[in-house]
């Protein structure tokens, strides 16, 4: 049995990872440690909370003592750190919690990992640590880090800490840097679910600036499969870029969503630009493909249709997160634990 501590497993990508692994890897035990911030939602794990290979524990990655107790109690061999404050706009209005969770939290996990002789530590990072691209070129793992937002600066800091713990203390680690994810269970503060939600409710779709910023989109399940590859085959101390070569301007994505849901482009509303808005991201994942034999399987056109269908079928989930009722749900769920 592979015994894995995952942090942030009630969030968007973490919960997709939990569902995928429980469905496909019967020999893996997941201890899911999550603070349940506004972004953490036990409804994302519905149907899996009582799975024999899944144990949910509510807690904060900044609490080293609890992390060490969990490692001892469940004989943890591997840590995958998904937990983070993840929204760029929030980092502009309130950066402090980004430093607390993304930097101090990661440091706390690293110290516990070294003290407890963890066999492998995987840091889930982001392509935003590389900064912003001009009209051409792609991010490779060899590029220097050049983060522009408080969010990406906090993620770059944690990447440096992970590598430093590898160099100084011999921690066996990998860092993954993925591009923009979309798919089921994404909190509707991020662009794609926000636009789907507003379009379904006939509300304006707020486009920052001229809408020509470019993001490189990947379906969340493809990202999760890449993480499993890194866990099982990643070489010590390597960074792996993960992307699906699917660059789109924000306007292209928004017009696609409107077309699929059958709503008019007149809902598009240009609003004040994000401060320090990165112009373009594009990921070169050649190394991950050649070293680990991984490639994204889901094309954007297919993934976005499936994602919209999921939001249409799961209006209860969407209403829960937009009204805040999901927080009562987890309080009730958690009261019994």
| 182 annotated active-site | no
The smaller minimum CB distance to ligand DAU, of residues 255 and 274, is found at 274
Residue bearing tokens 């939600």: 197
| 284 annotated active-site | no
162 binds, among ligand NAD, ligand DAU, none (CB under 5 to 8 A by kind): none
179 binds ligand DAU (CB under 6 A): yes
Nearest CA among 97, 34, 96 for reference residue 60? 34
Q: Can you tell me which of 174, 180, 250, 256 binds ligand NAD, judged by CB under 6 A? A: 180
Collapsing DSSP to helix, strand or coil, 177 comes out as: strand
181 binds ligand NAD (CB under 6 A): yes
Q: Can you tell me which of 207, 226, 258, 321 binds ligand DAU, judged by CB under 6 A? A: 207
307 binds ligand DAU (CB under 6 A): no
Residues 6+ apart with CB under 8 A from 102: 84, 85, 151, 154, 155, 157, 158
Collapsing DSSP to helix, strand or coil, 1 comes out as: coil
Give start and end residues of each alpha helix (H) in the chain: 12-24, 64-73, 88-93, 96-98, 106-115, 150-169, 191-200, 220-233, 250-261, 286-292, 300-313, 315-323, 325-335
157 binds ligand DAU (CB under 6 A): no
| 27 annotated active-site | no
Catalytic residue among 151, 182, 185, 330: 151
Q: Can you tell me which of 4, 18, 84, 122 binds ligand NAD, judged by CB under 6 A? A: 84
Give start and end residues of each alpha helix (H) in 208-282: 220-233, 250-261
Distances (CA, A) of 130 to 125, 156, 161, 280: 11, 8, 16, 11
Residues 6+ apart with CB under 8 A from 99: 150, 154, 157
Q: How far is the CB of 196 from ligand NAD (least distance, A)?
A: 15
Catalytic residue among 34, 60, 85, 127: 127
Segment 190 to 249, residues that bind ligand NAD, using CB under 6 A: none
The smaller minimum CB distance to ligand NAD, of residues 8 and 131, is found at 8
Collapsing DSSP to helix, strand or coil, 175 comes out as: strand
Distance CA 202, CA 216 (A): 27
Helices (H) and strands (E) in the chain, counts: 13, 12
184 binds ligand NAD (CB under 6 A): no
Q: Can you tell me which of 5, 62, 133, 308 binds ligand NAD, judged by CB under 6 A? A: 62
311 binds ligand NAD (CB under 6 A): no
Q: How far is the CB of 169 from ligand NAD (least distance, A)?
A: 22
CB 119 within 8 A of CB 78: yes
Tokens at 266, concatenated: 């007149």
Q: Can you tell me which of 5, 28, 122, 124 binds ligand NAD, judged by CB under 6 A? A: 124
Segment 137 to 166, residues that bind ligand NAD, using CB under 6 A: 155
The smaller minimum CB distance to ligand DAU, of residues 272 and 337, is found at 272
**Which positions are catalytic?**
127-128, 151
Chain residues binding ligand NAD by CB under 6 A are: 7-8, 10-14, 34-37, 39-40, 60-62, 82-84, 86, 101, 105, 124, 126, 155, 178, 180-181, 187
């Amino acid at each position: 049995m592979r015994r894995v501590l995952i942090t942030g497993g009630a969030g968007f990508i973490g919960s997709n990872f939990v569902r995928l692994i429980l469905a496909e890897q019967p020999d893996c035990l997941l201890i899911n440690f999550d603070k349940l911030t506004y972004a953490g939602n036990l409804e994302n794990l519905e149907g899996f909370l009582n799975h024999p290979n899944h144990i949910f524990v509510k807690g904060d990655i900044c609490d080293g003592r609890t992390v060490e107790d969990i490692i001892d109690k469940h004989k943890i061999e591997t840590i995958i750190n998904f937990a983070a404050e993840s929204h760029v706009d929030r980092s502009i209005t309130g950066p402090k919690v980004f430093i607390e969770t993304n930097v101090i939290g990661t440091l706390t996990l690293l110290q516990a990992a070294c003290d407890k002789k963890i066999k492998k530590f995987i840091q889930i990072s982001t392509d935003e640590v590389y900064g912003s691209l001009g009209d051409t070129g792609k991010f490779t793992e060899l590029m220097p880090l050049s983060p522009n937002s408080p969010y990406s600066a906090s993620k770059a800091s944690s990447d440096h800490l992970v590598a430093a713990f590898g160099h100084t203390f011999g921690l066996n680690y990998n860092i993954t840097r993925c591009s923009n994810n979309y798919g089921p269970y994404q909190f509707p503060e991020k662009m794609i679910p926000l636009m789907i939600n507003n379009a379904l409710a006939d509300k304006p779709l707020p486009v920052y600036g001229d809408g020509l910023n470019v993001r490189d989109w990947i379906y969340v399940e493809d990202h999760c499969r890449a993480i499993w590859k890194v866990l099982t085959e990643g070489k010590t101390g390597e960074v792996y870029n993960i992307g699906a070569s699917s660059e789109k301007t924000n306007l292209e994505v928004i017009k696609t969503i409107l077309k699929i849901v059958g709503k008019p482009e007149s809902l598009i509303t240009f609003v004040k630009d994000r401060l320090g808005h990165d112009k373009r991201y594009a990921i070169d994942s050649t190394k991950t493909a050649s070293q680990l034999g991984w490639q994204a399987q889901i094309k954007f056109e297919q993934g976005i249709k499936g994602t919209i269908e999921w939001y249409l079928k799961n209006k209860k989930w969407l209403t829960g997160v937009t009204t805040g009722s999901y927080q009562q749900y987890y309080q009730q769920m958690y009261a019994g634990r």
